Amino acid sequence: MKVAVVVFPGTNCEQDVHHVYGRLLKQEAFPVWHRETDLKGADVVVLPGGFSYGDYLRTGALAKLSPVMNAVKAHAEAGGKVVGICNGFQILCESGLLPGVLLENVGRRFLSRFVNIRVESTASFFTSGMTAGDVITCPIAHFQGNYFAEQPVLDDLEKRGQVVFRYCDKQGNVRPDDRGLNVNGSCRAIAGISNRAGNVVGLMPHPERAVESLIGFVGGASGLTPFQPAA
Amino acid sequence: MKYQVLVRLKPGVLDVQGKAVENGLKDKKFDAIRNVRVGRVIELEVDGVAAPEAKAQVDEVCKLLLANPVIEQYEIKEVA
């Protein structure tokens, strides 16, 4: 599996993603600079986290104009796999590849902490190797992670199984009004979504930072699981 | 041509910045002040293009980049 890791000015999680695909999963992973227009035959395109363009104007807004995004859109439209993590999720929303937008956290704080997320749908490529109801623990680190879309859009996402992850407690209970769980105030506690076809996924948490046994991630579903190539 | 673009959150979209400003003022005895909403003014010039086309370009840029229609609305004002 070939994995293109897109790097914008201000991206800062590309090494973490590269570590997961290249070193842990032994896949062919390579960086693609945002001015490039060729994804070099990638099967999976990753938009990693960071602060592309310094988050100027709105998070992800300027990145959508980068030359590489035409190639990412073409890849997605042809059914190619794309995952955006954190800032990458914000870029996918701004680009129109995913519906909705990420607003500032309700508590007006940058949140850097662990959260639990529950797998809601296994229809997306990113969760196809997981089981609905699986809970994984991984970090978040964001100021704009509050997922927002109009009610009809949210209803549609639910109906079509496009809600991929929700914030929950350790046992997998979801309580959208509980700020201890839905820490950024996202609509319906949504932590990640997919497009209709399931080949484009965006999520705010960082599963790529929850992959090493050294820091306690062993056994069961972990942050590593969604990155595994399809069997 | 010079233009001012006013971008603001649509009514009903939670304005976290506005809330922060409002809460800050409460502590300074301005507790009668309510519903603070923070927007953004973007100034830009369009050179060597006739007025209707210039404004059309600004409008296009608003839709493409300056405002996100999911959460924001915008107004374009000609200033000179």
Tracing tokens 């229809």 back to the chain, one arrives at: A123
Contacts of A57 in chain B (CB under 8 A): 65-66
- A185 to chain B: closest CA residue: B14
CB A187 within 8 A of CB A215: no
* CA A215/CA B6 separation, integer angstroms: 47
- Judged by DSSP in three states, A190 sits in strand
Contacts of B65 in chain A (CB under 8 A): 57, 61-62, 65
Residue B27, C-beta contacts closer than 8 angstroms, at least 6 positions apart: none
Residue B32, C-beta contacts closer than 8 angstroms, at least 6 positions apart: none
The strand pairing partners of B41, in sequence order, are B6
* CA A61/CA A94 separation, integer angstroms: 6
Chains A–B, number of C-beta pairs less than 8 Å apart: 36
Give the total residue count for chain B: 80
Position A218 scores a pLDDT of 65
Structural domain including B65 reads: 2-78
CB atoms within 10 A of CB A228: 16
Domains of chain A, with CATH numbers?
2-227 (3.40.50.880)
Percent of chain B residues past pLDDT 70, beyond the cut? 100
**Cβ burial A40-69 (10 Å sphere, 16+ → b, else e):** eebbbbbbbbbbbbebebbbbbbbbebebb
- Judged by DSSP in three states, B9 sits in strand
Name the domain count of chain B: 1
pLDDT in tens, A64-98: 999 999 999 999 999 999 999 999 999 999 999 99
The residue-averaged pLDDT of A37-41 equals: 97
Q: Give me the CATH number covering residue B66.
A: 3.30.1280.10
Q: Does pLDDT of A219 surpass 80?
A: no
pLDDT in tens, B2-30: 999 999 999 989 899 999 999 889 888 89
- Judged by DSSP in three states, B63 sits in helix
Position A220 scores a pLDDT of 67
pLDDT in tens, A84-138: 999 999 999 999 999 999 999 999 999 999 999 999 999 999 999 999 999 999 9
Q: Does pLDDT of B73 surpass 80?
A: yes
Tokens of A153: 């859009």
In the chain, the amino acid numbered B76 is I
| Chain B residues interacting with chain A (CB cutoff of 8 angstroms) | 13-14, 16-17, 19-20, 64-66, 68, 70-71
| Residues of A designated as active site | 86, 206, 208
Q: Is A123 on the interface with B (CB under 8 A)?
A: no
* CA B65/CA A94 separation, integer angstroms: 9
Q: Does pLDDT of A171 surpass 80?
A: yes
* CA A87/CA B35 separation, integer angstroms: 29
Radius of gyration of chain B (CA): 16
The residue-averaged pLDDT of A8-21 equals: 97
In the chain, the amino acid numbered A134 is D
Average pLDDT for chain A: 95
